[in-house]
Structure formats: structure tokens, C-alpha cells
Amino acid sequence: MEIEFLGTGGAITIPRPLCDCRVCSEARDKGVPFSRMGPSIFVHGPNLLIDTPEDIHHQINRSTIDDVKGIIYSYWHPDHVMGRRIIESLSADWINHPPQNKKVEVYLPEQVEVDFKRFLGSSDHLAFFESQGFAHINRLKDGESVFLNNTKVVPFRLAEDYVYGFIIENDSKKVLIAMDELYNWKPHKEVIGEDLAILPVGIFACHPLSGDRLFPEDHPVFEEEATFTETMEIIKTLDAKKVILTHIEEPNGLSFSECKELEKKLKNSGLNVEFAYDTQKVKV
């Protein structure tokens, strides 16, 4: 099994349009690995795409992906779903008549399906793709698993119960992937001690290297988003062999170089933690 990080940003990518801060200016000048597109991961083996941000077309075109067997969604937020037209691009046959569409398998965990009917027109859009023969929609009840190329994929709800994480198991290897929203999450025993855990980095209340405050203490974001400090406590509980942090957004104010510096600091403290970057590939 191999993990490819297609996009390691969040709702606010790096560089942020029209932003001239030092982090965005450097990213605009240097590109990858300093720049970060929207959140998406591809798991080679099951050939599973997790989430489709707006720039997923560009992410796949620069990737090593040669086949997509399935797409699964972690939750309904725009930065995770608004590139869903990739289903049409991957599947539609515009030349032959009758068309010989590929038909991508799309997997919707239980609450994701409910929320897709309420927000952003996602359900209607997917229904249209299915009616055109571009996709087959698979609705997963909580507790159901998906098997792709002998790999087991188990969605499970986080503390914010409209958001799903995934346990991906192949042979003797197990990977935990949580794309976003760790607020108030307490890991259960089934996810302890994984070979690899991929988690959102969380909000940096203060710059982890300089100590400068980045958000006011009374900012409402702390009432709905996990902080980096809280993420670190989750990491200690998980006791995974390796942790990679993603969903690194512009407001956190960390450049790629600073992420690498912080990575060294964490490893010196005994934590095997890395910061993901766009196009990164990791074998498990």
C-alpha cells in the first residue's frame, strides 16, 4: 500500500489568492513543496481517492495515479467536495456512440449521504452522474466496510459525528486517515497502534517556533476546531508507528521550511511526526 498526498492544504490553500504574506509569496515563487492545494489523498493498492477539492483535476494530472477504482468522501464541506466533476472527467466517453463510459464507484458513508442531500447540491450532482452512466453510488451504513483490491476500508465517525475517518487495512498493515475535524475526538481502541496515522494539523494558536500569537485567545475558531496542541495529545494516545500531518492552511502562518524545522523539533522529543507536502508518496 502506498499513500500519495495530492493536496495538503485546507479551505484556504497556499498561496492564497492575492495574498502577499511571506508564506504565500514564497509558495507562489517556488511552487511545490511550498505551495499546497486543497485536501485530497490517494491510496495506491485499492486505488481509492479520498475527497475531491476544487483543484483535484490539477492534482491528478501531476500525480502518479493511473487508475481510480473508487472515490470516498469524509464529509460535506466545500473544500472536500467541490471538485466532484472529476467523476465526469474520469468516466465520460464523448467519442463512441453509444458511449462506453468507465463508471467510477462512489462511496458515501451514512451521514455524508444525509448531508449531501442538504448542502451544496452534492446529492443532485452525483445523481446526475449516475443517471449518465459516469458513476455508481454506494451508500454505506455505519459499520459497513468496502473491499477494493483485497484492501479493507472502514469508515467511522469522529467526535464531530458528521465527519468520518477511515481505517485502511491491507495484509498486515493498517493506516488511519482523518482528513479533518479532530475537535473533541478521543481515539477508540481499534485505531491505537496503527502503522501510519494521517491527521489534520489543527489550529496553531501561537507560532510553534517563534511563540508569536496567531489568533486572539477569544477567537471563536477554538470552539469548533482542534488546536495543534490538542492534535499532539491525540497523537500520543494513538501511539502509531508514524504520523503525518496534513490540512495545513495559510492562516497557520507556517512555511514549508518552518514545518521541516518543527518536524525536527518533534522528532528530537521522541515523536515520529512529519508534515505532509503536495505530491509526497509514502509506502506503508
The predicted-structure confidence for 187-219, as pLDDT tens digits, reads as follows 999 999 999 999 999 999 999 999 999 999 999
In the block, which residue shows the cell 496542541?
A: 229
User: What contacts 208, CB < 8 A, 6 or more positions away?
Assistant: 228, 254, 262, 265
Q: What is the pLDDT of residue 50?
A: 98
Which segments within the chain are labelled E, that is strand?
2-7, 40-44, 48-50, 70-72, 104-109, 135-140, 146-148, 151-157, 164-170, 173-178, 196-200, 243-246, 273-275, 281-283
pLDDT of residue 262 exceeding 90:
yes
User: How far apart, in whole angstroms, are the C-alpha atoms of residue 5 and residue 61?
Assistant: 13
Residue 52 near residue 84, CB atoms below 8 Å = yes
23: how many CB neighbours lie within 10 A of its CB?
23
151: how many CB neighbours lie within 10 A of its CB?
21
- The CA dihedral of 159, 192, 231, 281, to the nearest 10 degrees, is -110
Q: What is the pLDDT of residue 172?
A: 85
Residue 248 near residue 218, CB atoms below 8 Å = no
User: How far apart, in whole angstroms, are the C-alpha atoms of residue 233 and residue 123?
Assistant: 36
User: How far apart, in whole angstroms, are the C-alpha atoms of residue 247 and residue 167?
Assistant: 18
Q: Would you state the cell numbers that stand for residue 272, as one nine-digit string?
A: 515520529
In the block, which residue shows the cell 524545522?
A: 261
User: How far apart, in whole angstroms, are the C-alpha atoms of residue 156 and residue 56?
Assistant: 24
Q: Of 245, 257, 204, 251, nearest to 26 (Cα)?
A: 257
Share of the chain above pLDDT 70, in %: 100
Amino acid at 224: E
pLDDT 10s digits, 54-113: 999 999 999 999 999 999 999 999 999 999 999 999 999 999 999 999 999 999 999 999
Q: Which CATH architecture has domain 2-283?
A: 4-Layer Sandwich (3.60)
- Confidence bin at 171 (pLDDT 50/70/90): confident
Average pLDDT score over residue span 263-267: 95
Rounded to 5°, the CA angle 179-16-230 comes to 40
Average pLDDT score over residue span 236-255: 96
- Pairing mode of beta strands 135-140, 146-148: unpaired
Average pLDDT of the chain to the nearest whole number: 96
- The residue length of the chain stands at 284
